[in-house]
Structure 1
């Protein structure tokens, strides 16, 4: 069987510097091939080169590029427009950006059918859109077709984007990080859908930094680093017997054993009794009761909309419960580390100025602040020279470390972290988790970690709360919950995430 996609010798350079160098791959009909690697590896540029979507200033050379029997190596934009959508489709990471915010979902899905003259007439288009929404398991498809992207959840938007990408029945589907920002159960459904699409004969190229997702979906995998393929082969072979050290690091960073905590009990620093919070008529947290032990880490997990962030905001005092109580044992200094440090910092200020402001609020004398800023940055493994940079000039991992440093400026006893590593590459995420473990040990911190990623929570949390639709449906020691989940939703989360049981 001939390959649906054949690529040899792809090179992409900017100002003479290669960022993708010598990449070759094939994908057969019905096969899913994954490209895995971290930010900057060149995987997304490779994917976009397959659709003629590289930036205008990129210098692109390729030996062979054949898509569904068509030689596209020398294509210009006019030829690419005829090929895109019809022979090769793209599913991007951010569906909210990729979907036109001013166009209804049904019109978005119908567009490639109109552009390529595949379906004619309003009634026929509407029928085909309904078929596609059914194929991607879109609930209540007729109503969703009339809605705008902002009215859908992340998972439903991603389904709509997949429906649009497969509308013209392309031979090749390129999925570029399509599940990165999704909850575990939603991610599992999207991966299952992509596998179904491959099984019906479509060649699927899956771009990811997550080996757990690759394990669930792909037949073969290419590992990219610094623009080059450093390892490739069948997924089972690469995951079980990785040959390259970088591959071993990526695998280790996405698969953790659940944490086994000390049996020594410690006294609680916080007791929460039947705390509830609603926004209008919508309950966000319902009758939450639990305690947080001193010097330990409590993980709060659940899908988007489960109430975990609202609960975290009540813990730090940003929101007040409508009913119930949160009781701190003694005076406790509590600090929050936001999910998005770029949004949490003032973009006009240098990191040093933001840290100095935090130190001033904590009562540190002016004469001591410069030295304390340097010490805080060093404590989170950042070069003190970075104090002179603005947040936008830092990498994602550096910004997250700076956010942790700012939280530490107030010398807290309790650190609440809301999705602190969700947007980071595996190895960067691993370094942040190790940093948090070290800080907890050195400072005696009590930590509350909010996340939708069970692998992360399992790696660092002593106890775990599982939330669903505002309620705590299960809680207990992490190892016990992972080994013998009692609630069906907990089992669904663990199955969807592929979390490892001890």
Structure 2
């Protein structure tokens, strides 16, 4: 395994003088393998971005462990050589007073100060993310589209010895045609052995891109497995609710059917997740109020 999260929890202090606590993520465990796209799916406030920030070392873990290539994550220059993140709002990653390709210069200063072939490497990276160097170099952020800015950030990551990309809602601010271009780019990158954690609230995009899916609700995993199994045979009511809420061209709005059977307790499970079939795990439907608990 390349990236492994083991029982990861994040607790924030809230309220006046931090007298109370809020668990944003509770006991989350999953992994991302080389050359694999894993979708982390859930509604707003489910803890998706908090997990991404912990992986990137931007937020400390309260308990549990995150390891990369068998070693506990230690944010720093060596770690960021292999692990990078791209976020929802591409414009927020650029200083508007500097040209957009300054992001390449920063990478050169930190990691490749003596690289005489740097300009050629930049052009190759831009071409690999389907950008014309002549159209994007020496331009200010406001002169480029959101899709171009996102692809510039991915090209920047490729100039490192990148193994894992954390893509946090990177298509949510893009139009439909640009969105599919960025998704196809991520699909191409995984063929090079790049692992991608694709964080999204959009099930259709997760289904399009990922081999495996992790469904998050209120900071906990409620269902996980191969994307075809999770989407084709959803076992948890929350997953079914999310799927029923996906707009369909051939049907009007449909309410999610109520599900009374808790497959977790009906199976006699006692751990955090029950393996309903090989590689397909599901949590209790209504903890702590499940009548079967």
TM-score, with structure 2 as normaliser: 0.79
Counterpart in 1 of 2:206?
214
- Could you tell me which residue of structure 2 aligns to residue 128 of structure 1? 121
- Secondary structure of the corresponding residue to residue 60 of structure 1: coil
Q: How does 1:307-322 map to 2 (within 5 A)?
A: none
Distance 1:9 1:83, change over 3 A: farther
Cα deviation for residue 430 of structure 1 reads 9.2
Deviations 1:49-103 (A, max 9, x none): 001102xxxx63243321234322xx3xxxx121453010101110001122233
1:211-237: per-residue Cα shift (whole Å, max 9, x none)? 110111100000001000110000011
The answer to whether the Cα contact below 8 Å between 1:159 and 1:190 also exists between their aligned partners in 2 is yes
1:253 maps onto 2:245 in alignment: yes
2:59 is aligned with 1:61: no
Residue 105 of structure 1 contacts residue 146 of structure 1 at CA under 8 Å; is this kept in 2? Answer: yes
CA distance in 2: counterparts of 1:240 and 1:31, whole angstroms: 20
Alpha-carbon distance change, 85 to 166 in structure 1, aligned in 2, over 3 angstroms: farther
Cα deviations across residues 328-354 of structure 1 (Å, max 9, x unaligned)?
Answer: xxxxxxxxxxxxxxxxxxxxxxxxxxx
CA positional deviation for 1:119: 5.4
C-alpha contact (below 8 Å) 2:9/2:64 kept by paired residues? no
Cα separation, 1, equivalents of 2:87 and 2:204: 19
Distance 1:256 1:65, change over 3 A: same
**Where in structure 2 are there 5+ consecutive unaligned residues?**
14-20, 256-293
* Unmatched tracts of structure 1, length 5 or more: 261-428, 432-502
Q: Which residue of 2 aligns with 1:230?
A: 222
Higher relative contact order (CA 8 A, sep 6+): 2
SS of equivalent to 2:40? strand
The runs of at least 4 aligned residues of structure 1 exceeding 6 Å deviation read none
- Would the aligned equivalents of 2:27 and 2:64 in 1 still touch at CA under 8 Å? no
The alpha-carbon deviation at position 36 of structure 1 amounts to 0.3
Q: Distance in 2 between matches of 1:18 and 1:9?
A: 13
Please list, as runs of the form range in 1=range in 2, the aligned pairs for 1:171-250 lying within 5 A after superposition: 171-250=163-242
TM-score if structure 1 supplies the norm length? 0.47
**As a proportion of its length, which structure holds more helix?**
1
Deviation at 1:259, TM superposition (A): 5.5
CA RMSD of superposed structures (Å): 2.0
| CA shift in 2, pair 1:32/1:183, >3 Å | same
Q: Contact 2:6–2:66 (CA<8 Å) still a contact in 1?
A: yes
Identify the residue that residue 144 of structure 1 maps to in structure 2: 136
Aligned to 2:86: 91
The structure 1 residue matched to 2:43, chosen from 38, 50, 71, is: 38
Q: Secondary structure at the match of 1:254?
A: coil
Q: Name the CA distance, whole Å, in 1 between partners of 2:69 and 2:82.
A: 7
Contact 2:42 2:48 in 1 (8 A): yes
CA distance in 1, matches of 2:193, 2:160: 14
Determine helix, strand or coil for the equivalent of 2:27.
strand
Change (3 A) 1:248 1:162: same
Contact 1:7/1:64 (<8 A) preserved: yes
Would the alpha carbon gap of residues 217 and 110 (structure 1) be closer, same or farther in structure 2, given more than 3 Å must change?
Answer: farther
Report Cα offsets for 1:411-470 as digits up to 9, x if no partner.
xxxxxxxxxxxxxxxxxx999xxxxxxxxxxxxxxxxxxxxxxxxxxxxxxxxxxxxxxx
